[in-house]
Chain A
Amino acid sequence: MIITDVLCPFCGDLCDDIIVEVEGNKIIEVKEACETGVSKMMGHERIAAPMIRENGKLRETTYEEAITKAAEILTNSLRPLMYGWGSTTCEADKKGIELAEEIGAIIDNTTSVCHAPSVLAIQNVGLPSCTLGQIKNRADLIIYWGSNQAEAHPRHMSKYTSFTKGFFTKEGRKGKHVIVFDVRKTTTAEVADDFVQIIPGDDYRVLSALRVILAGAGDVVPSSVGGVPKEKLIEIVDRMKSSRFGVLFFGMGLTQSRGKPYNVANAISLVRELNAHTKFAVMPMRGHFNVTGFNQVCAWSTGFAFAVDFARGKPWYNPGETSTVDVLNRGECDSALIVASDPAAHFPRKSVEHLAKIPLIQIDPCPNLTTELADIVLPAAIAGIEVEGTAYRMDGVPLRLRKLIEPVHLSDEEILSRILSKVREIRGD
């Protein structure tokens, strides 16, 4: 059976034109997707059954026993942490937030270690943005700053920016100018018209210089800023002002290097000021396919986009205090539930050390490093392959994930729902 218009559940681009061939409840071919998408959709090793760790070893068990144990751990914890949520559906996110409220947990998603600085910046200075569709149809100046999407979002340029043709961009690549700002000449930089190499940690200075030149005070800018000659900065500002529709995408190069939220706020402010001259938009390059969705669900249900602490019985948000890496670095939480994420692989070693010490519950389709630390392992169906549901693309557009094959395991939403029922049962609610 051929299924068309499938959404790819890998990165924040949520490509919606994938063709999948299914035979006997198995995906046998994936067309149109990038290598990372094909790799995910064709499938890897799966967690076969629920597991519980006893005497240092995981043994297989039933969902019923594993869910009961998980509920007991969470109910008996003083400071439970619930982390992950980037690669599941909004429906599962919603259920997770309900559980967090019930047990007074901290709930946080992978935004915490990628675009948390962007959320802080957006809360300060806003986000003049648009959809990827508008960019495809209108943008003639495309800027990537600290974002190597040729490797992180492999189809971004061919679907939405440099290599696509739109209603007002009929010339395609010829009619567009692409600039990459980065500390190293990435594969994205190799296909740009301009590569601007910045000294590591100097993004804030370069952004400030561009803003000063744009404000007409270029005479105070020194001959070189962050390794970039002043003439080049002036040329770029002229190009920005004379574009019809410009867009600045930014990635981890801004959020994870010196300056973090201040870098992002500076980039957004530059774009805001450019709108006095032409139409300009800014967009964070979001990583996991539904990391944006958790931010949306969390914001409409708690008032905050990530790092929400329910210990007081109501939502409390204070990144640095309630964000996962900080909570782990302080050795504060006494249990953790990890959903659709692998913090053991992607957190600093110091944070992982605390994760290894506490009772750890994992809900995930595939074994990973977090499985090696987990005390309870609950295998889940893969969102967007075995479960349908809602996901938000990086530009905030909600799209419906398809179910392509029948799952063997329960969905994240169903597992969380059963844990919640069990918690209520234990508490006598």
Chain B
Amino acid sequence: MKKIDVKLISGRSIEQGIHIENKMSSGYFDVAAVCELNEKDMSKLGIRDDANVMIKSKFGQVVVRARTNNRNPPGIAFVPMGPWANAIIDPSTGGCGTPQFKGVEVEVTLTFDSISPIKELVGFI
């Protein structure tokens, strides 16, 4: 299976913000369980938009939907802030309280698994 090593950046997107107070909705699932990659990284993986990808870091793994976004340079995977990104970010704070939500090293591969359900991510299934 083809894989790429990239840096994960999580952050706000306007669609995620619109659904932030309605997180149990399908709308939130559609906009937050997403990984945006540059087209060069998409072709390295041999995938098109809407393929599912597994993102693994040393802190966990998660399955989300891939989407091309050439505003990201190659080497960056952008996942909107939320439970999917939080499954793989570095929870350590370095003594300042804030975890490292940005710049975590991750491996991305094509997967035929389905997108991680939101309830599974917070561990009450």
B54 CB to closest chain A CB (Å) equals: 16
Q: How would you classify the secondary structure of chain B's contact residues: helix, strand, loop or mixed?
A: loop
Central interface residue in B72, B95, B119, B121, by most chain A CB within 10 Å: B95
Size of interface on A: residues with Cβ below 8 Å to B = 63
Q: Which residue of B lies closest to A328 (CB)?
A: B91
Interface positions of A from 40 to 82, Cβ below 8 Å from B: 40, 44-45
> Is B81's beta carbon under 8 Å from chain A?
yes
Central interface residue in B13, B19, B91, by most chain A CB within 10 Å: B91
> Is B21's beta carbon under 8 Å from chain A?
yes
The segment from A114-122, A158-166, A234-242 that touches chain B is A114-122
Please name all residues of chain A whose beta carbon is closer than 8 Å to the beta carbon of B100 when the two chains form the complex: 256-258, 260
Interface positions of B from 58 to 116, Cβ below 8 Å from A: 59-60, 71-73, 76, 78, 81-83, 86-87, 89-103
Given A348-B91, A356-B123, do A148 and B11 touch, yes or no (CB 8 Å)?
yes
Let me know if B122 and A44 touch, CB within 8 A: no
> Is A35's beta carbon under 8 Å from chain B?
yes
Which of B12, B18, B93, B97 contacts A148 (CB under 8 A)? B12
> Is B56's beta carbon under 8 Å from chain A?
no
> Is A331's beta carbon under 8 Å from chain B?
no
Which of A39, A252, A255, A372 contacts B122 (CB under 8 A)? A372
Determine the distance from Cα of A121 to Cα of B59 in the docked complex, in whole angstroms: 28
Please name all residues of chain B whose beta carbon is closer than 8 Å to the beta carbon of A320 when the two chains form the complex: 93-97
Let me know if A346 and B86 touch, CB within 8 A: yes
> Is A324's beta carbon under 8 Å from chain B?
yes
Which of A36, A256, A329, A347 contacts B102 (CB under 8 A)? A256
Interface positions of A from 365 to 407, Cβ below 8 Å from B: 366-369, 372-373
Please name all residues of chain B whose beta carbon is closer than 8 Å to the beta carbon of A201 when the two chains form the complex: 7, 103
> Is B22's beta carbon under 8 Å from chain A?
yes
Which of A183, A197, A325, A373 contacts B99 (CB under 8 A)? A325
Determine the distance from Cα of A372 to Cα of B118 in the docked complex, in whole angstroms: 11
Let me know if A368 and B24 touch, CB within 8 A: yes
Determine the distance from Cα of A36 to Cα of B71 in the docked complex, in whole angstroms: 22
Please name all residues of chain B whose beta carbon is closer than 8 Å to the beta carbon of A348 when the two chains form the complex: 59, 86, 89-91, 99
Let me know if B96 and A352 touch, CB within 8 A: no
Q: Which residue of B lies closest to A255 (CB)?
A: B98
> Is B1's beta carbon under 8 Å from chain A?
no
Let me know if B98 and A369 touch, CB within 8 A: no
Let me know if A151 and B13 touch, CB within 8 A: yes
Determine the distance from Cα of A231 to Cα of B12 in the docked complex, in whole angstroms: 32
Let me know if B86 and A352 touch, CB within 8 A: yes
B93 CB to closest chain A CB (Å) equals: 6
Q: Type the 1/0 row for B24-52, where 1 means its CB is closer than 8 Å to any CB of A.
A: 10000000000000000000000000000
> Is A186's beta carbon under 8 Å from chain B?
yes
> Is A128's beta carbon under 8 Å from chain B?
no
B64 CB to closest chain A CB (Å) equals: 14
> Is A225's beta carbon under 8 Å from chain B?
no
Given A36-B17, A368-B23, do A252 and B123 touch, yes or no (CB 8 Å)?
no
Let me know if B71 and A184 touch, CB within 8 A: yes
> Is A351's beta carbon under 8 Å from chain B?
yes
Q: Which residue of A lies closest to B101 (CB)?
A: A256
> Is B9's beta carbon under 8 Å from chain A?
yes
> Is A91's beta carbon under 8 Å from chain B?
no
Determine the distance from Cα of A367 to Cα of B87 in the docked complex, in whole angstroms: 21
> Is A154's beta carbon under 8 Å from chain B?
yes
Please name all residues of chain B whose beta carbon is closer than 8 Å to the beta carbon of A184 when the two chains form the complex: 9, 71-73, 76, 78
Determine the distance from Cα of A168 to Cα of B83 in the docked complex, in whole angstroms: 45
Let me know if A36 and B18 touch, CB within 8 A: yes
> Is A253's beta carbon under 8 Å from chain B?
yes
B60 CB to closest chain A CB (Å) equals: 6
Let me know if B18 and A256 touch, CB within 8 A: no
Which of B17, B73, B89, B94 contacts A151 (CB under 8 A)? B17
Please name all residues of chain B whose beta carbon is closer than 8 Å to the beta carbon of A170 when the two chains form the complex: none
Contacts A117-B96, A152-B12, A366-B22 known; 12 new A-B pairs at CB < 8 A: A39-B19, A45-B24, A113-B101, A183-B76, A252-B101, A306-B97, A325-B98, A329-B91, A346-B81, A346-B82, A348-B91, A348-B99
5 A-B contacts, Cβ less than 8 Å apart? A319-B96, A320-B93, A320-B95, A347-B86, A372-B119
4 A-B pairs closest in CB distance: A323-B97, A320-B95, A348-B91, A116-B97
Interface residues of A (CB under 8 A from B): 35-36, 39-40, 44-45, 108, 112-114, 116-117, 120, 148, 150-152, 154, 183-187, 189-190, 197, 200-201, 252-253, 255-258, 260-261, 306-307, 319-320, 323-326, 329, 342, 344-353, 356, 366-369, 372-373
